[in-house]
Amino acid sequence: MYDYDLLVVGSANADLVIRVERRPAAGETVLGSDLVVHPGGKGANQAVAAARLGARTALLARVGDDGHGRLLLQSQRAAGVDPAGVLVGGAPTGVALITVDPSGDNSIVVSPGANARLAPEDVRAASGLLHASRVVSAQLEIPLETVVEVVRRLPPGTRFVLNPSPPRPLPAEVLAACDPLIVNEHEARVIAGGELDGSPEDWAAALLALGPRSVVVTLGAEGALVATGEAMTRIKSVKVDAVDTTGAGDAFTAALAWRLGAGSPLPEAAAYAARVGAAAVTRPGAQESFPTAEEVESL
């Protein structure tokens, strides 16, 4: 028996959000709304999203001993995440500067802060969490060597899910552990090491050739593509009126990872995740927008 359905190893940021009529060009200043501070970070977002859906969830991350860090810990506890793996200190809490335009699209700049101090030795010290978790999910807002250590410490039978954001080239041992590797078009191009021609099916085939056990390509309003060595399956999107896309990809990844751990086939897990991501964009903010399982069913 596992204590956790999902362990998220990743970042925890304070999201500083300003709404703008349009994003500024180089050298230009635009006026925006009042500043709003939300708990965020891809790791913390995924942990909250999974817990809201009913998953037994833990987070391994690092925050500063400051107001932003306390905000993040409070958010994790309120969602039902076990924050025992959240380390405090070493640097200020990471911060994401986010502008959101009227269509709901966003631009993000991240100052990693304490996230950059989540080190391989922290993973080694958390071996109990790894062995207690059915699925482990990671992203790349923490040092790559820390993600490598997660892969090396994975217990037999534990599934590894990676959303390589922000993207960078990945070592073969990390790619080989991914089941699935979850990418958008931009991330796919970076991971593949250059231009990707043809259809999303062609992109997925190129990524599979690099070694992951499975690949999910998210396609925004066009849904997603699920690819394994045996088949490729298109997942339809759910049509909603988008208010804010911040955190939608994290909600998708968390839902998919949880459903895989519950035994769902990858296409079925991705279809459920698409509904969770769609529900998340109908409300502003990241963690505040994540739906419960009941809300997903009603959608």
Strands (E), the chain: 4-9, 13-19, 36-40, 57-63, 82-88, 94-100, 106-111, 133-139, 159-163, 178-183, 214-218, 224-228, 232-235
Q: Rg of the chain's alpha carbons, rounded to an integer?
A: 18
Contact, 51 vs 142, CB < 8 A? no
Rounded distance between C-alpha atoms, residue 72 and residue 70, angstroms: 5
Please, what is the angle between helix 200-208 and helix 185-192, to 10°? 40
Q: Which of 5, 82, 244, 250 is catalytic?
A: 250
Rounded distance between C-alpha atoms, residue 63 and residue 272, angstroms: 31
Contact, 164 vs 41, CB < 8 A? no
Examine the residue annotation and report whether 5 is marked as an active-site residue of this protein.
no
Sequence-ordered alpha helix ranges (H) in 42-89: 42-53, 67-79
Residues shown for the chain: 299
The residues annotated with a catalytic role in the active site are: 250
